[in-house]
Amino acid sequence: MRQARRSLDTHQREAHAQALALRLRRHPLLLRSKRIGFYIPVQGEMNPWPLIDALVKLRKDVFLPVLLPFNCNRLWFAPYTPEVEMAPNRFGIPEPDVHPCSMLRPIALDVVLTPLVAFDANANRLGMGGGYYDRTFAFLRRRGCWNRPHLVGLAYEFQRTSKLTPSPWDVPLAMVATESSLYIRKG
């Protein structure tokens, strides 16, 4: 799947990202939400920037993940605007270079859009293997009735696989969005 993502040319990536943005920018979950977390795409991941641009025009607050070394390899989320300075983290991925007091804990977000390597029709996610999203959002597995933030995977349609068996530590997604479909978790 990673190789297939990387093999897309620039035109294909842009076309898929635009189609995804058209599909999601007016989705009720995003329209109801104010604070939305995104990611910086790496290694051919679905590009969320067209969706970010569309939601900023709708006055949504956009946040990007930040690795904090003193927080047990969990993510916090920093506010993003086009004026924010970016700096590479220890993996070389750009992050907003903001004061830690302006960052949000994950529980303060309404929706978080996540990257993935593969998914199935029930919105089970296979991540990159670092466990950052599962550790960061582990509190969602312990919630009974309140399940914010809603986690939404972003992927290319070709990343769908027949069936993934979640591990006990996997945090379920509410849905997965691709350039052509939405896959909503059942049950």
Using CA atoms, how far apart are residues 175 and 187, in angstroms rounded to an integer? 12
Report the pLDDT value the prediction gives residue 2, as an integer from 0 to 100. 77
Report the pLDDT value the prediction gives residue 65, as an integer from 0 to 100. 95
- A 10 A CB-CB count for 52 gives 19
Report the pLDDT value the prediction gives residue 132, as an integer from 0 to 100. 87
Using CA atoms, how far apart are residues 87 and 186, in angstroms rounded to an integer? 39
- A 10 A CB-CB count for 66 gives 20
Query: What pTM, to 2 d.p., does this model score?
Result: 0.92
Report the pLDDT value the prediction gives residue 147, as an integer from 0 to 100. 72
Report the pLDDT value the prediction gives residue 129, as an integer from 0 to 100. 66
At the top level of CATH, the class of 2-184 is alpha beta
Tens place of pLDDT per residue across the chain (187 aa): 778 888 888 999 999 999 999 999 999 999 999 999 999 999 899 999 999 999 999 999 999 999 876 666 789 999 999 899 999 988 899 999 999 889 999 999 999 999 999 999 999 998 876 788 888 998 888 766 557 899 999 999 999 999 998 888 888 899 999 999 999 998 6
Cα distances from 173 to residues 3, 103, 104, 152, in angstroms, run 23, 23, 20, 6
